[in-house]
């Protein structure tokens, strides 16, 4: 009897709610308005802070010469040996200083460093957006033990939607079949809830930001 009474009470409330509908509040919502409290810092500083918190290494470069000097310095510090680069713009940079690298896709060495460009940098979350339309393709950003991203200040946007609009504008209707957000080095805690870096991709990620 108690169960029947409780059931009737619930059904009565449902019927009442269906008859006396509440006014629609969604008409007054501004769907285009941002929901995050953004930093008052510049986009470069906001990205650097978010990217570093996620475990990435950020290097600011005043110009191309500064980029060359810092790349050589970190290469010596980290004792990097095997560099892979498939993108013409970066290869042009590296050829200017006779920097050793290979574009051979048939053999990948251990502890390799993949050097790529990116589609954009997202300041709010400190992420790097890469796509399959880049010459680096789907593989180079993930197969190395270290991922080096060469980016430019003009590529920084505030949020993901801004980044997607930038990609759409660049490729018109031929949107890349794959777009990936990279936020810090690869990591997982699937095994016994122990955090492991480099499980599914690079153990380290560096962003060299060139002021253009």
Q: Which CATH superfamily is domain 42-210 in?
A: NagB/RpiA/CoA transferase-like (3.40.50.10420)
Chain mean pLDDT for the chain: 87
Reported confidence tier of residue 5, pLDDT bands at 50, 70, 90: confident
Q: Which candidate, 141, 188, 143, 148, places its Cα nearest to that of 57? A: 148
pTM for the model stands at: 0.80
pLDDT of residue 27: 67
- pLDDT of residue 201 exceeding 60: yes
pLDDT in tens, 104-152: 888 888 789 999 999 999 999 999 999 999 999 888 888 889 999 999 9
The per-residue pLDDT for 206 is 97
pLDDT at 84: 94
* Predicted pLDDT at 71: 96
- Work out the percent of the chain whose per-residue pLDDT is above 70: 84
Segment 54-95, tens digit of pLDDT: 999 999 999 999 999 999 999 999 999 999 999 999 999 999
**What residue spans define the domains of the chain?**
42-210
pLDDT at 18 over 90: no
Residue 200: pLDDT band with limits 50, 70, 90: confident
Q: Binning pLDDT at 50, 70 and 90, where does residue 164 land? A: very high
Q: What are phi and psi of 11, to 5 degrees?
A: -65, -35
End-to-end Cα spacing for the chain: 77
Beta-carbon contacts of residue 158 (< 8 Å; ≥ 6 apart): 38, 43, 46, 122, 123, 124
Give 153's DSSP letter.
G
């Amino acid at each position: 009897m108690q169960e029947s009474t409780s059931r009737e009470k619930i059904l009565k409330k449902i019927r009442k709610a269906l008859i006396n509908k509440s006014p629609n509040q969604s008409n007054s919502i501004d769907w285009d308005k941002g929901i995050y409290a953004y930093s008052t810092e510049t986009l470069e500083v906001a990205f650097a802070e978010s990217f570093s918190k996620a475990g990435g290494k950020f290097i600011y470069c005043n110009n191309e010469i500064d980029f060359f000097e810092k790349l050589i310095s970190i290469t010596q510090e980290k004792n990097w040996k095997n560099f892979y680069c498939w993108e013409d713009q970066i290869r042009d940079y590296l050829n200017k200083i006779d920097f050793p690298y290979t574009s051979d896709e048939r053999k990948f060495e251990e502890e390799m460093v993949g050097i790529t460009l990116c589609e954009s940098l997202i300041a709010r979350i400190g992420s790097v957006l890469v796509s399959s339309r880049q010459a680096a393709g789907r593989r180079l950003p993930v197969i190395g033990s270290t991922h080096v991203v060469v980016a430019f200040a003009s590529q920084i946007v505030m949020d993901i939607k801004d980044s997607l609009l930038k990609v759409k504008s660049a490729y018109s209707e031929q949107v890349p079949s794959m777009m990936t957000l990279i936020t810090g080095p690869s990591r997982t805690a699937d095994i016994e809830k122990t955090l492991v870096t480099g499980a599914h991709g690079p153990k380290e990620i560096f962003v060299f930001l060139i002021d253009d």
